[in-house]
Structure 1
Amino acid sequence: MTTLHTPRLTLRPITPDDLPRVLTYRNDPEVARYQAWALPATLDSVAGLVSDQPLGAPGWVQRAVTLRDGTVLGDVALNTQGPQAEVGVTLARSAQGHGYAHEALHALITHAFTDLGLHRVHASIDPRNTPVAVLLTRLGFRHEGTSLQSYRHRSEWTDDALYAVLAAEWTA
């Protein structure tokens, strides 16, 4: 199981003990607004986030984002498909605006390129989620395009903005 460390954070597998906290922030309407999971989230629906799969295993692999004292702030995810992967991040509202998402994603993406040898990492977001668009741009992602009204989300047609960065760009 892959665990990553930054100056302030640990990215570690989500455990069953974390699930009540995960359930709380995933049911916050502001946190869930641009996320794809069904609401309300239930213990059964978040139980699938508990996994002993290493980062880089095919499909979505989640990691709890915790302070060094163990406080769960949110989670990050890597969805590896061959030499590429999609990333995602979810933080409790109280953890937003402190640079934790930047720090956690930076560690995750560095791991993806350096340790896993991936070629490309991308993120798909609702373009109304301006803070995440700014975050991805600050991390060095480029906006590759937006598909207009390309999927139904919470009873409305929603745009989908694609951001990506290549390994050669990241390591430069």
Structure 2
Amino acid sequence: MTPVLRTARLLLDPYTPEDEDGFVALFQDTRVSRWMGDGPATEAEDRALFGRVFTKVYAEDLFDVWAVRRDGRLVGHAEIKRTDEVDGHEIIYALAPEAWGAGLGTEIAEAIVAYGFTGLGLTEVHATVAAPNTASRALLTRIGFAHVRDVREEDGSTTHVLTRHREPAAARPHPRAT
């Protein structure tokens, strides 16, 4: 079951049926969807995808998928799931353009990575980023991801695979009791 995650400004929680229009609006915005999966899809395909979040992903507990909310409003999407493309767990995140430039993407990515390490017990997490998506590559590099290889896509484009390793226990700060 997808857990609830909180950052300083965001709430990552499971989608509800009432989120459908916001989800579709996010994925229909080509400034967002051009970087997601195979790129923009039809509205009907995005509505079907939203339905599968409930009928497959949540129903079969396949992987973790979150609605990203700020001040109660849906502003993004996040996932962590095992994929063959990286032979491990990949983080996926998207943020509505009106929320860009405020550091929220960093909060989302850090929250998912932390959950991968602590909640799932992973030793590394991966991200795949289209070569032209310089903003996402810069964000991931800032939070400790390193480029490990390139994938040449069927359409001739390049996707970068980046990886972040869990710090050894000795390097992590010890939690303080309150």
TM-score range with shorter-chain normalisation?
A: 0.7 to 0.9
Equivalent-residue separation in structure 1 for 2:37 and 2:117 (angstroms): 26
Which of 109, 129, 137 is equivalent to 1:133? 137
What is the total number of aligned residue pairs between the two structures?
Answer: 163
The structure with the largest strand share of the pair is: 1
Equivalent-residue separation in structure 2 for 1:169 and 1:140 (angstroms): 14
Question: What's 1:19 paired with?
Answer: 20
Based on CA coordinates, which of the two structures has the bigger radius of gyration? 2
**Counterpart code for 1:45:** L
Structure 1: stretches of 5+ with no match in the other structure:
none
What is the Cα deviation at residue 104 of structure 1? 1.2
- Deviations for 1:117-167, whole angstroms, at most 9, x for unmatched residues? 1111000111100000001001100011223xx224xxx321110100111
Equivalent-residue separation in structure 2 for 1:24 and 1:48 (angstroms): 17
Structure 2: stretches of 5+ with no match in the other structure:
173-178
What is the Cα deviation at residue 84 of structure 1? 3.8
The structure with the largest helix share of the pair is: 2
Give the 3-state SS of the residue equivalent to 2:122 in structure 1.
coil
**Counterpart code for 2:73:** T
Equivalent-residue separation in structure 2 for 1:158 and 1:31 (angstroms): 18
Which of 33, 47, 51 is equivalent to 1:47? 51
**Counterpart code for 1:110:** A
Which of 89, 93, 109 is equivalent to 1:85? 89
**Counterpart code for 1:161:** H
**Counterpart code for 1:167:** R
Equivalent-residue separation in structure 1 for 2:137 and 2:53 (angstroms): 25
Equivalent-residue separation in structure 2 for 1:7 and 1:95 (angstroms): 15
What CA RMSD, in Å, does the superposition of the two structures yield over aligned residues? 2.4
Equivalent-residue separation in structure 1 for 2:42 and 2:120 (angstroms): 35
Question: What's 1:65 paired with?
Answer: 68
Equivalent-residue separation in structure 2 for 1:13 and 1:41 (angstroms): 21
Equivalent-residue separation in structure 1 for 2:59 and 2:129 (angstroms): 25
Q: Is 1:144 aligned with 2:136?
A: no
Give the 3-state SS of the residue equivalent to 1:14 in structure 2.
coil
What is the Cα deviation at residue 169 of structure 1? 6.3
Moved over 2 A (4+): 49-54, 168-172
**Counterpart code for 1:146:** D
Aligned pair in 2 of structure 1 residues 168, 61: CA closer, same or farther (>3 Å)? same
What is the TM-score when the length of structure 2 is the normalising length? 0.81
Report matched runs for 1:84-123 at 5 Å: 84-123=88-127
Preserved CA contact (<8 Å) 1:49 1:61 = no
Indicate the percent of aligned positions where both proteins have the same amino acid. Answer: 27
Preserved CA contact (<8 Å) 1:151 1:158 = yes
